[in-house]
Amino acid sequence: MTSASMTSSDESALPTSSDARPEKRVLHLRVNGSDHVVAARPYALLLDVLREDLALVGTKRGCDMGTCGCCNVLIDGKSVMSCLVLAHEASGKNIETIEGLAFEGAELHPLSAAWAECGGSQCGFCTPGFIVTCHELLAEEQAPSRQRIAEAISGNVCRCTGYKKILDAVEVAAARMRAAPRHETDARSAAL
């Protein structure tokens, strides 16, 4: 190893036993409207904290590299890959996961309902990430075209469906949301 060179990792950045790691720090996270306090190492990923510390396992681990979208969550309304966000960088932001987005009170959200009815899921592993992304889309656009939907979900990988029934589901959900306008954002921000 050429430790003197700038073209290698710092020696201590290799896997080490626990005593050589930076200490855990207190982390405040607001997820689905609830405040959580956990202890997390500075380099902990949001995905890991959501799944392992908060047991919000609806957010899936697919590729770890930002290439599949299975771990997408909303941060301040934007759909991003939680495998590429440090947990401490998400502190103070409004995080929403599939668990918070699937229902509004006791009501199933139209996206989750349409997804099930239209056959948007087969194995379902990618589904939470897709639905999170489509929440962002439908918050921005009431009547996206199929082409527009396809673009919006182009960072999410589905290996089962060939995407057709996913497009169907988003169209159906969008139509229902137009027919019965909701005050999702208002309601949510009021709750916060």
Partner 1 sequence: MSSDRHEKLHPHDDAVQRHGLIGKRIPLIDAMRKSTGQALYTDDLAPNACLVGKILRSPHPHAKILAIDTSAALAMPGVHAVLTGREAPNSFGVLPVSQDETALAVDKAIFIGDGVAAVAADDEETALAALRAIRVDYEPLRAFLDLQDSLEEVPEELRLHKKTVGGTNIHKEVRQNFGDVDGEFERALWKKRMSFRFPGIQHAFTEPLVVIAHYDADERMTVWSAQQVPHYLHRALAKVLEMPMHRIRVIRPTVGGGFGGKSDPFPHEMVAALLSRKCRRPVRILFDREEVFYNNHGRHPSKIEVGLAIGHDKKVAALDIDALIDGGAWGSFGVVTTYYNGVLANGPYRVNNFRYRGRRVYSNRPASGAMRGHGAVNTRFAYEVLLDEAAHDLGFDPAQFRIDNALPAYTKTINEFRITTNGIVECIERACAMAKWKDKHGKLPFGRGIGIAGGFYISGSALPIHWDGIPQSTVHLKADFDGGITIHSLAAEIGQGSDTMLAQITADVLGVPIGQCRVYSDSTDTAPIDLGSYSSRVTFMAGNAVRRAAEEMRSLVIGGAADLTGYPPELFVLEDAHAINATNREVRVPFVEALRRAMKDRGALQTSGCYSSPPPMGGSHKGAAAGLSPTYSFQAFVVEVEVDLMTGKPKVQEVWAAHDCGRALNPLAVEAQIEGCVHMGLGQALCESFDYNKGNVENPNFLDYRMLSSTETPDIHAILVETYDPEGPFGAKECGEGPLLPALPAVANALFDAIGIRFYEMPITADKIWRALQKQKKSAAKAAAQGASR
Partner 2 sequence: MILPPFELHQPSTLDEAMATAQKLRDEGMTFDYMAGGTDVLPNYKNRLNARRQVIGLGGVAELTSIDDTSIGALARIDDVARDERVLALWPTLAKAAGLIASPPLRRLGTVGGNLLLDTRCYYFNQSEFWRASKGYCLKADGDVCLVVPQKETCYATYSGDLAPILLVHDAELEFRSPDSGRRVKLRDFFAYDGTRRFEKAADEVLVRIHVEPTALATDYLKLRARDTIEYPVMGVAMGVATKDGLVTDLRVAVTGSEAVPLYYGDLGLMGAAVDASTADRVHEALLDRIQCYRNVPFPPGYRKAMGAEFGRSLFLQLTGQQA
Q: How far is the CB of 137 from partner 2 (least distance, A)?
A: 9
- Cα 190 to Cα 83, 90, 185: the distances in Å are 29, 21, 8
Q: Binding to partner 2 by residue 2, rule CB under 8 A?
A: yes
Q: Which has the closest alpha carbon to 146: 120, 115, 171?
A: 171
Of residues 98 through 157, those in contact with partner 2 by CB under 8 A are: 133, 151-156
Q: Binding to partner 2 by residue 60, rule CB under 8 A?
A: no
Among 76, 117, 140, 141, binds partner 1 (CB under 8 A): 117
Beta strand residue intervals within 18-142, DSSP E: 25-31, 34-40, 72-75, 78-81, 94-96, 103-104, 107-108
Q: Binding to partner 1 by residue 165, rule CB under 8 A?
A: yes
Among 25, 36, 42, 57, binds partner 1 (CB under 8 A): 57
Whole-number Å distance between alpha carbons of 171 and 132? 15
Closer residue to partner 2 in complex, CB, 28/117: 28
Whole-number Å distance between alpha carbons of 189 and 67? 31
- Cα 83 to Cα 98, 112, 129: the distances in Å are 15, 23, 12
What is the separation, in whole angstroms, between the first and last Cα of the chain?
Answer: 51
Of residues 78 through 97, those in contact with partner 2 by CB under 8 A are: 78-81, 83-86, 88-89
Beta strand residue intervals within the chain, DSSP E: 25-31, 34-40, 72-75, 78-81, 94-96, 103-104, 107-108
Given partner 2, partner 1, none, residue 123, with its beta carbon under 5 to 8 Å by kind, binds partner 1
For residue 173, how far is the Cα from the chain centroid?
19
Q: How far is the CB of 42 from partner 2 (least distance, A)?
A: 4
Q: Binding to partner 1 by residue 159, rule CB under 8 A?
A: yes
The binding site for partner 2 (CB under 8 A) comprises 1-2, 6-10, 12-16, 20-22, 41-43, 45, 48, 64-67, 69, 72, 78-81, 83-86, 88-89, 133, 151-156
The binding site for partner 1 (CB under 8 A) comprises 14-18, 21, 51, 57-65, 67-68, 70, 97-99, 102-103, 108, 111-113, 115-128, 131, 147, 150-151, 153-154, 156-167
